[in-house]
Amino acid sequence: KYILPQLPEIVDVEQEFRYRLARGIYLKGKIDAVSVDGLIEHKTTGNYITDEYMYKVDFMNDQVSNYLIAKEETRPVTYTVITKPTIRLKKTETLDEYIERCEAWYDEDTERKIRVFTVSRTKEELEEQRKNLVAMAKEIIKVILEIIEALVQRERKETKDR
């Protein structure tokens, strides 16, 4: 009623990806949906959708950038956000009655509960994110190798002390 009419035709859902960022470094994940117009990301929130929330999604969300990098996509991502209903099923009502109450709940103040919008990234922003991902992965690999080396050294010392 609120979201589907605003979405382009969906061609795939829960699409998994594995994208090579650099030698031995891969970006792996799952995209909620792919449409004829690009990627779709669905989110739920326990709060009303405020301008602050929208800002965080648009400017502070690496997930969108990662999807665009992995799919080598430059078109905006369609984002759907829905607030989880604050009403619960009453012991005395049927599921159909509860669904009807939920629909009425969403009908009231819809703009604060449901949003469909697009999030864009420039090629420069995507390249910067790709570089950051590679740097983070290399740092993680370095730390893991240091831990392994420390464990090997400790094992050698314990073996020598026996």
Locus of tokens 């799919």: 71
* 158 Cα distance to chain centroid: 45
CB-CB neighbours of 25 under 10 Å: 16
- pLDDT band per the 50, 70, 90 thresholds, residue 131: very high
DSSP tally for the chain: helices H, then strands E: 4, 5
Greater model confidence, 20 or 54: 20
Nearest Cα residue to 80 out of 100, 57, 51: 57
The rounded mean pLDDT for the chain is: 88
- What's the pLDDT at 74? 80
Residue 75 in tokens: 């078109």
* Dist. CA 78–CA 13, nearest whole Å: 14
- pLDDT band per the 50, 70, 90 thresholds, residue 21: very high
Contacts of 85 (CB under 8 A, 6+ apart): 102, 105, 106
- What's the pLDDT at 20? 93
Phi/psi of residue 83, each to 5°? -80, 135
Greater model confidence, 2 or 12: 12
Question: What predicted TM-score, i.e. pTM, was given to this entire model?
Answer: 0.71
For the segment 33-72, what is each residue's pLDDT rounded down to a tens digit? 988 888 888 888 888 888 888 877 766 678 888 989 988 8
Per-residue pLDDT at 11 exceeds 80: yes
* Dist. CA 10–CA 31, nearest whole Å: 12
**Percent of the chain whose predicted confidence (pLDDT) is above 90:** 41
Average pLDDT over residues 103-131: 89
